[in-house]
Amino acid sequence: MDTIEYIRNLINNGRKVGIFSCEDPLNAIFHKDVFNLGTYLHAHFTPGGVIEPYTLDLGLSHKHIDAWGVFCHYGEFNTKKVCGAVNALLKGYGDEGKDFKKYLDTLKIRFPLNKNNLLKENVMSLIKSEYGFLLKNIKEKQKNFGLKKDVIVFAGIVYNLSEMNYKSEILFESIVKWQ
């Protein structure tokens, strides 16, 4: 299902939505389209769309967000290969800035990169990994905060077709039931 339509449906059904998404400038158009869906969206942008647990804490306990998603992106055009973070892990990142290098050092510990796989396969692996991380953390935080509400968890990919065009789709979806 198309991501924009999916998130629109969540919002129209009364859900508050939080997303983690890759901060790459190529995703700016996707992010603009998502922000135009409603009056409130809790968004956190990191290279690779990596989930930050403190953002979940704030969103769940203070904003009562009950639908969380994670998005990575992929594309190869005009000599660009994205996701830039995953591509840097694959090719080596000695030429990157010191802060981005630190981030990539942390990412490679958490992310199951396989140098024998293509960029797209590794991006898909990152999505699956972060989706699993999100599911696990939502379940734990429901208990910690005493949240008595089901939370929808979803993951998707943004295919960058050019600098100005993309398509996106939802790949995974679950409902984390409160107990």
- Predicted confidence at residue 133, as pLDDT, reads 95
Residue entry with tokens 């203070």: 62
- Predicted confidence at residue 136, as pLDDT, reads 95
Separation CA 132–CA 126 (nearest Å): 10
- Predicted confidence at residue 94, as pLDDT, reads 93
Higher pLDDT, 73 or 38: 73
- Predicted confidence at residue 1, as pLDDT, reads 80
Reported as a pLDDT band with limits 50, 70 and 90, residue 68 is very high
Phi then psi dihedrals of residue 66, to 5 deg: -125, 20
At 178, the amino acid letter reads: W
- Predicted confidence at residue 178, as pLDDT, reads 86
- Predicted confidence at residue 146, as pLDDT, reads 83
Reported as a pLDDT band with limits 50, 70 and 90, residue 112 is confident
Long-range contacts of the stretch 62-66 (C-beta < 8 A, 24+): 63/16, 63/18, 64/16, 64/149, 65/16, 65/17, 65/18, 65/151, 66/15, 66/16, 66/149, 66/150, 66/151, 66/152
Share of the chain above pLDDT 90, in %: 80
In terms of average pLDDT, the best of 39-43, 139-143, 147-151, 168-172 is: 168-172
Phi then psi dihedrals of residue 176, to 5 deg: -90, 110
Contact 74, 126 (CB under 8 A): no
- The number of domains in the chain is 1
Contact 97, 121 (CB under 8 A): no
Residue entry with tokens 């939080």: 18
List the CATH number of the domain containing 67. 3.40.1050.10
The stretch 59-69 carries a mean pLDDT of 93
Identify the domain containing residue 71 by its residue range: 3-176
The stretch 41-54 carries a mean pLDDT of 93
